Amino acid sequence: MILLGIAALISTAFMPNDDWTNLLDKDLSQWEMYLSYKHQNHYDGSEPRDSSGNIIAPIGYNKNVNNVFTVIEKEGKPILKISGEYYGCVFTKESFSNYHLTLKVKWGEKKWEPRLDKLLDSGLLYHSNGPAGVDYWRSWMLSQEFQIMEGHTGDYWAIGNTAIDVRAFPQEGMMNSVAGHDQPFISLGGNSGRDAFCLRSANHESNPDEWTTLELVCFEGKSLHIVNGNVVMVLQNSREMTTNGSQPLDSGKIQIQSEAAEVYFKDIKLRPIQQLPAQYKALFK
């Protein structure tokens, strides 16, 4: 019995633990970056101009002005620090489809205009395609957003001309749509007649000084927003609205936003999946 136990331990030790790929290292070797502007209060979505009325160009790709993006090391692990001073993002060099992504996030203390009197804000953008700067803030690629925001982590936003269906209570008047796992799917964005935004079903964030674990599961146009192990939104039929009608949007790069707030990320890992994990399949029936 003892020999069998030892043999099992040896066998297990030489087996791969999992098929997760670590996306974060000290050199950000798997990421590129884009910075746009220091946005100000009362921004209206138009191209920013200087005092003479001339259009201000965005900072652009891979110009890390004022070290908006840095990697620090703590307890032997790399941690991505985003200062938030300029709007923009880091984005993966590689595109992904059908995957399970996990990461940990924690807020810093610094805020910048136009969010000095607003909630700390960032975001995890998936199925990202095309050039950066196609959104209202002229800072990100066309994508779907897993919102990261105080009290709102897990919300959905369309970035650029995208749309999706969410299990949710529909909006009524000035009230937003709210995710509900036992509700039918409703269309958001595109030609649905509804805003391209939905509130998560519940708040499962950690305390501000603690790490919150986020998981994003994407499979064949379906996705799940998961906060500290709790599914807070069920989405399907991810699509891009084009001049030729809607087109499936089920793969792309991953962006992490810089959005006027200091924020930290660690343990960013991804693994491919061949099907939806069994515990989540019923959410789409």
Q: Is residue 11 part of a domain?
A: no
Q: Phi/psi at 23 (nearest 5 deg)?
A: -95, -5
- Count of CB atoms situated within 10 Å of the CB of 155: 22
> What DSSP character marks residue 3?
H
CA–CA dist 44, 84 (Å, integer): 20
Asked if the model's pLDDT at residue 105 lies above 80, the reply is yes
Number of domains forming the structure of the chain: 1
Confirm if 75 and 256 have CB atoms less than 8 A apart: no
CA–CA dist 78, 37 (Å, integer): 27
DSSP of 22-82, one letter per residue? E---TT-TTEEEEE-----TT--SSPPB-TTSPBPPP-EET--GGGSEEEEEETTEEEEEE
Q: Is residue 246 part of a domain?
A: yes
Q: What is the pTM of this model?
A: 0.92
Q: Is residue 10 part of a domain?
A: no
Spatial neighbors of 33 by CB under 8 A, at least 6 apart, are 61, 62, 63, 64, 68, 69, 88, 89, 90, 91
Q: Is residue 2 part of a domain?
A: no
pLDDT band at 174 (very low <50, low <70, confident <90, very high): confident
From residue 89, alpha-carbon distances to 59, 125, 132 in Å are 12, 9, 9
Q: Is residue 12 part of a domain?
A: no
CATH number for position 243: 2.60.120.560
For the chain, counts of helices (H) and of strands (E): 2, 20
Parent domain of 121:
19-284
- Token match 């399970």: residue? 100
Query: For the segment 9-18, what is each residue's pLDDT rounded down to a tens digit?
Result: 333 333 344 6
Query: For the segment 21-62, what is each residue's pLDDT rounded down to a tens digit?
Result: 999 999 999 999 999 999 999 999 999 999 999 999 999 999
For residue 9, the model assigns a pLDDT of 38
The chain-wide mean pLDDT, for the chain, equals 93
